[in-house]
């Protein structure tokens, strides 16, 4: 089959080989100490379903996750007063009673209970080596190329090594503990969990047999009925030594190596206990029979097949790049230009995290949540849900442009799960056909409004944004089967909701009640039943909503044309599209207006760039599409940033993409460096506000995507590919390979400096980088 994407290699300038120490500073994060029992220092691996956080202490702790272990069953949270309430709120908004509208919405439309389910850990693996210290030459590393992590140290003349693998092909995690001298390895292994354990057993293999020892722990989410159950098991295969068990732990003494294979399965994916247990046994039997060396080789081959598609070199840091991560992070804060390889490592870390946390693992695969799939808390920040007013979407921004399109499959699975819920909520709350999602969902596809506040709860736009991500998947892959069977039906379902729900206001089709995600405005004086200057969130004809609607209806027209569809949705979308209110530009500030009226904003430094959805990730406000609008968009992002936005990791990462779209490479790179100074925790995870604040993986993904957007752009639907559209002056040497542009076919041609490159483009060098790719 011909590759359907246009692969681009763009020389940034020259390409000297990096100075490599023991650990290539663009590929490895390494440490000379353990995680000191801090989750934010532990190192993450995963196979798209199982996740492991490796702490590396003298007693090893590995926090283990399975991405379908959440706090409970499906819940119907639709507010019992909802029917008719939407009309009442709309009338209040129309009458200018903003505060009263918000109060009515909170009483009659907010979900009950207000929150969907929370993501939960499964178990910890504890491996006690009987070592009172970590000896000398302690080294801990994460390999972002192979997707593996490890620990090594020397104690009493023996070097102990621990290797940790997450295998997508075998569906298990596999760990090898070894000693440099025979018979020197002892370890006591157990699984532990603080809550709701239903069974815990361990047994030693009979001496002399080839059987493995087993520790297992089963638990549930704590409800008396409908609980999510999981079954977890570690199989232990030792070379040399003797094995005993006390019924809860397995102890190995005098061994050369000890291999551990781990799986957990939950009731989310299996209709009964025996099916889940059969699958657990099947995976572990297969992995144990294959053995650690084979499992490791297959896992690494699979991982590197994906990772190696894209290569980035931003120049060498010399010896600065060979230092341990805590030193590099601290040096970077003082002199960011001295370690460009740390930026390359952050780019690679984002791709490592995406491949590790989101794969097609079969039916009901689940996407990366707010923490990817790494979580040790029973009450994680924001329940570690799928927040769909930016965060879940941002998780997948690097997927297409950095050539990892298949990592999006779990998002489509979640949308399939959500569809019947979203239809039920559309009917119950809005009396409409089609689908509606609000600003968060969980593993059940919960579609009801979430939390209780006028700036965030009543936002019926989740499906509009997610269906756009499906369309983008089509633009990058040109997979018409996907367009026909997955994207188009979702676009149609989403549009059917809006054909019913939209109301005419000032001659435009308008969403109301709605809000601009998480941002409040100050109510103008003179509005009835309101208190002037009171902060409110609820309104109608929100700028972001209009951009999402315009995107939805134009995506439908594109899909209809590509599929030669005569569905009535096609002609309806054509009539709705011209009646979406165009962006307003403030006569006071010259900026894109966030709301229908030029309300004063509550937080000039607000973290969400919702009215700039159309600048990035969408392309309604980009310079090549409309210079007037992009000028107004630039004034808004400049205003936000100079007021102090970029105040969370993901917000700072979004700024990178916005400035990349504006062609401002120096500013984009400034925010890349600001992100890298402030937001990575010890293990490079993105955080809400720096070390010690909540972990959120979206910032990592947004940063990787923003860097890619500085190097290749292909938005605007005009067939253009821009190579190196936002180069910072600080990038004086480097190379990128394997980024992907929209609409490619492998038969395109790229014209640089008047020279035409045909076929899959290998290398393009030139000074005039704006190019037109003529696609077959």
Ligand X SMILES: *[C@@H]1O[C@H](CO)[C@@H](O)[C@H](O)[C@H]1NC(C)=O
Smallest gap from residue 52 Cβ to ligand X (A): 20
163 near 252, Cβ under 8 Å? no
Q: Which of 154, 180, 244, 558 binds ligand X (CB under 6 A)?
A: 154
Nearer to ligand X by Cβ, of 59 and 154: the residue is 154
Smallest gap from residue 1 Cβ to ligand X (A): 7
Smallest gap from residue 558 Cβ to ligand X (A): 17
Q: Which of 17, 22, 156, 272 binds ligand X (CB under 6 A)?
A: 22
As given in the structure block, the two tokens for residue 378 are 């029973």
Binding mask 572-611 for ligand X (x = CB under 6 A): ----------xx----------------------------
Binding mask 112-131 for ligand X (x = CB under 6 A): --------------------
Smallest gap from residue 725 Cβ to ligand X (A): 20
Nearer to ligand X by Cβ, of 153 and 497: the residue is 153
Nearer to ligand X by Cβ, of 336 and 611: the residue is 611
Nearer to ligand X by Cβ, of 478 and 761: the residue is 478
Smallest gap from residue 546 Cβ to ligand X (A): 11
Rounded CA-CA distance 234/214 in Å is 6
DSSP bridge partners of 752: 755
Segment (H or E) for 480: helix 480-482
Smallest gap from residue 89 Cβ to ligand X (A): 29
Nearer to ligand X by Cβ, of 77 and 468: the residue is 468
Binding mask 627-656 for ligand X (x = CB under 6 A): -xx---------------------------
Q: How far is CA 597 from CA 301, 454, 457, 601, in A?
A: 55, 17, 21, 11
User: Would you list the DSSP string of 23-56?
Assistant: S-TTTEEEESS--TT-GGGSEEEE-SSEEEEE--
Smallest gap from residue 626 Cβ to ligand X (A): 4
Nearer to ligand X by Cβ, of 110 and 625: the residue is 625
Give residues with Cβ within 8 angstroms of 406, minimum separation 6. 306, 359, 360
Rounded CA-CA distance 230/198 in Å is 10
Rounded CA-CA distance 707/676 in Å is 12
Binding of residue 156 to ligand X (CB under 6 A): no
Residue 386 half-sphere exposure toward CB, CA atoms < 13 A: 27
Residue 116, burial from CB neighbour count under 10 angstroms (0-12, 13-18, 19+):
buried
548 near 468, Cβ under 8 Å? yes
As given in the structure block, the two tokens for residue 717 are 């639907």
Nearer to ligand X by Cβ, of 216 and 408: the residue is 408
Nearer to ligand X by Cβ, of 139 and 356: the residue is 139
Q: Which stretch binds ligand X (CB under 6 A): 277-285, 430-438, 625-633, 663-671?
A: 625-633
Binding of residue 626 to ligand X (CB under 6 A): yes
Nearer to ligand X by Cβ, of 23 and 349: the residue is 23
- Within 237-384, residue ranges assigned H as helices are 273-290, 292-307, 325-334, 340-357
Size of the site for ligand X (CB under 6 A): 15
Residue 263 half-sphere exposure toward CB, CA atoms < 13 A: 22
622 near 717, Cβ under 8 Å? no
Smallest gap from residue 673 Cβ to ligand X (A): 30
Smallest gap from residue 488 Cβ to ligand X (A): 11
Nearer to ligand X by Cβ, of 104 and 626: the residue is 626
Segment (H or E) for 258: strand 257-266
Binding of residue 152 to ligand X (CB under 6 A): yes
Nearer to ligand X by Cβ, of 411 and 437: the residue is 411
Q: Which of 58, 139, 648, 687 binds ligand X (CB under 6 A)?
A: 139
Rounded CA-CA distance 385/390 in Å is 12
Give residues with Cβ within 8 angstroms of 415, minimum separation 6. 445, 463, 466, 470, 490
Nearer to ligand X by Cβ, of 438 and 550: the residue is 550
Q: Which of 137, 278, 568, 597 binds ligand X (CB under 6 A)?
A: 137
Instruction: Report DSSP state, residue 523.
Output: P
Nearer to ligand X by Cβ, of 152 and 527: the residue is 152
Nearest to 196, CA basis, from 217, 211, 170 = 217
As given in the structure block, the two tokens for residue 488 are 């188009």
As given in the structure block, the two tokens for residue 627 are 């210079």
658 near 612, Cβ under 8 Å? yes
Q: Which stretch binds ligand X (CB under 6 A): 184-192, 507-515, 521-529, 622-630?
A: 622-630
User: Would you list the DSSP string of 700-767?
Assistant: HHHHHHHHHHHHEE--SSSSEEEESTT--TT--S-EEEEEEETT--S--EEEETTEEEESS---B--S
Q: How many CB atoms lie within 10 A of CB 485?
A: 11
Instruction: Report DSSP state, residue 373.
Output: T
Nearer to ligand X by Cβ, of 152 and 751: the residue is 152
Smallest gap from residue 159 Cβ to ligand X (A): 7
Smallest gap from residue 770 Cβ to ligand X (A): 18
Binding of residue 620 to ligand X (CB under 6 A): no
Nearest to 356, CA basis, from 191, 146, 175 = 146
Q: What angle do CA 723, 729, 730 make, to 5 degrees?
A: 110
Smallest gap from residue 59 Cβ to ligand X (A): 20
Rounded CA-CA distance 101/97 in Å is 6
Smallest gap from residue 303 Cβ to ligand X (A): 19
Segment (H or E) for 166: strand 158-167
Rounded CA-CA distance 699/366 in Å is 19
Nearest to 541, CA basis, from 482, 598, 492 = 598
Nearer to ligand X by Cβ, of 410 and 706: the residue is 410
85 near 236, Cβ under 8 Å? no
131 near 112, Cβ under 8 Å? no
Smallest gap from residue 408 Cβ to ligand X (A): 10
Smallest gap from residue 505 Cβ to ligand X (A): 18
Q: Which of residues 676-715 bind ligand X (CB under 6 A)?
A: none
205 near 213, Cβ under 8 Å? yes
Q: Which of residues 474-493 bind ligand X (CB under 6 A)?
A: 479, 481-482, 485-486
Smallest gap from residue 141 Cβ to ligand X (A): 8
Nearer to ligand X by Cβ, of 22 and 272: the residue is 22
357 near 303, Cβ under 8 Å? no
Nearer to ligand X by Cβ, of 32 and 75: the residue is 32
Binding of residue 554 to ligand X (CB under 6 A): no
Nearer to ligand X by Cβ, of 218 and 626: the residue is 626
Binding mask 89-108 for ligand X (x = CB under 6 A): --------------------
Q: Which stretch binds ligand X (CB under 6 A): 175-183, 237-245, 501-509, 623-631?
A: 623-631
Length of the chain: 776
Smallest gap from residue 154 Cβ to ligand X (A): 5
Q: Which of residues 488-517 bind ligand X (CB under 6 A)?
A: none
Binding mask 204-243 for ligand X (x = CB under 6 A): ----------------------------------------
Question: Which residues of this chain interact with ligand X, rule CB under 6 A?
Answer: 22, 137, 139, 152, 154, 479, 481-482, 485-486, 582-583, 626, 628-629
């Amino acid at each position: 089959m011909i590759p359907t994407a246009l692969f681009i290699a763009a020389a940034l300038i020259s390409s000297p080989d990096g100075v490599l120490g023991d650990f290539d500073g663009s590929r490895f994060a390494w440490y000379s100490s353990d995680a000191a029992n801090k989750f934010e220092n532990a190192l993450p691996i995963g196979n798209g379903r199982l996740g492991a956080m490796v702490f590396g202490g003298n007693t090893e702790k590995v926090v283990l996750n399975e991405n379908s272990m959440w706090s409970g069953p499906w819940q119907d949270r639709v507010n019992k007063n909802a029917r008719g309430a939407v009309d009442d709120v709309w009338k209040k908004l129309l009458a200018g009673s903003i505060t009263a509208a918000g109060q009515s919405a909170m009483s009659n439309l907010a979900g009950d209970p207000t929150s969907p389910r929370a993501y939960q850990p499964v178990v910890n693996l504890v491996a006690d080596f009987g070592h009172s210290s970590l000896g000398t030459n302690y080294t801990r590393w994460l390999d972002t190329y192979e997707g593996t992590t490890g620990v090594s140290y020397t104690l009493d003349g023996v070097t102990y090594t621990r290797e940790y693998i997450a295998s997508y092909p075998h569906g298990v995690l596999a760990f090898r503990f070894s000693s440099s001298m025979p018979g020197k390895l002892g370890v006591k292994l157990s699984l532990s969990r603080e809550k709701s354990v239903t069974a815990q057993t361990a047994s030693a293999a009979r001496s002399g047999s080839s059987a493995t020892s087993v520790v297992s722990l089963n638990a549930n989410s704590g409800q008396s009925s409908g609980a999510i159950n999981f079954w977890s098991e570690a199989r232990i295969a030792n070379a040399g030594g003797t094995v005993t068990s006390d019924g809860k732990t397995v102890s190995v003494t005098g061994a050369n190596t000890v291999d551990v294979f781990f799986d957990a399965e939950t009731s989310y994916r299996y209709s009964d206990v025996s099916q889940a247990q059969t699958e657990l046994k099947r995976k572990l039997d297969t992995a144990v029979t294959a053995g650690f060396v084979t499992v490791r080789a297959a896992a690494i081959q699979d991982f590197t097949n994906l990772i190696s598609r894209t290569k980035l070199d931003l120049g060498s840091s010399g010896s600065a790049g060979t230092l341990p991560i805590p030193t590099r992070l601290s040096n970077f804060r003082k002199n960011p230009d001295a370690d460009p390889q740390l930026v390359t490592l952050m780019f690679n870390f984002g791709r490592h995290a995406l491949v590790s946390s989101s794969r097609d693992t079969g039916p009901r695969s689940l996407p990366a949540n707010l923490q990817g799939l790494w979580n040790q808390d029973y009450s994680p920040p924001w329940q570690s849900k799928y927040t769909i007013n930016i965060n879940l979407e941002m998780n997948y921004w690097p997927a297409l442009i950095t050539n990892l399109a298949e990592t999006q499959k779990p998002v489509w699975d979640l949308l399939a799960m959500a569809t019947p819920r979203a239809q039920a909520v559309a009917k119950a709350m809005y009396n409409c056909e089609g689908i509606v999602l609000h600003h968060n969902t969980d593993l059940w596809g919960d579609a009801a409004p979430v939390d209780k506040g006028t700036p965030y709860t009543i936002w019926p736009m989740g499906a509009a944004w997610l269906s756009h991500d499906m369309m983008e998947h089509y633009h990058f892959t040109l997979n018409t089967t996907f367009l026909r069977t997955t994207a188009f039906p979702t676009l149609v379902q989403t549009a059917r909701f809006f054909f019913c729900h939209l109301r005419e206001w000032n001659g435009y089709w308008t969403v109301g009640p709605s809000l601009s995600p998480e941002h409040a405005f100050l109510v103008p004086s003179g509005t009835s039943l309101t208190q002037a200057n009171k902060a409110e969130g609820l309104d109608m004809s929100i700028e972001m909503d209009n951009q999402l609607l315009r995107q939805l209806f134009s995506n439908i027209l594109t899909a209809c044309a590509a599929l030669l569809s005569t569905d009535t949705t096609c002609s309806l979308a054509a009539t709705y599209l011209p009646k979406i209110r165009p962006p307003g530009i403030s006569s006071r500030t010259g900026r894109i207006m966030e709301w229908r009226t030029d309300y004063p904003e509550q937080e000039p430094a607000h973290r969400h760039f919702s009215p700039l959805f159309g600048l990035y990730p969408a392309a309604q406000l980009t310079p090549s599409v409309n210079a007037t609008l992009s000028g107004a968009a630039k004034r808004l992002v400049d205003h936000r940033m100079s007021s102090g936005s970029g105040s969370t990791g993901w917000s700072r990462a979004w700024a990178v993409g916005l400035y990349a779209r504006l062609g401002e490479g120096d500013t984009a790179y400034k925010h890349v460096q600001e992100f890298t100074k402030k937001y990575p925790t010890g293990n490079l995870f993105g955080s809400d506000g720096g070390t010690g604040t909540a972990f959120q993986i979206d910032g990592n993904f947004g940063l990787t995507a923003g860097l890619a957007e500085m190097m290749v752009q292909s938005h605007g639907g005009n067939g253009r590919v821009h190579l190196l559209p936002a180069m910072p002056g600080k990038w004086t040497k480097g190379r990128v390979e394997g980024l992907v542009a929209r609409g490619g076919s492998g038969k395109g041609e790229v014209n640089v400096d008047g020279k035409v490159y045909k076929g899959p483009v290998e290398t393009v060098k030139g000074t005039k980088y704006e190019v037109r790719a003529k696609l077959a």
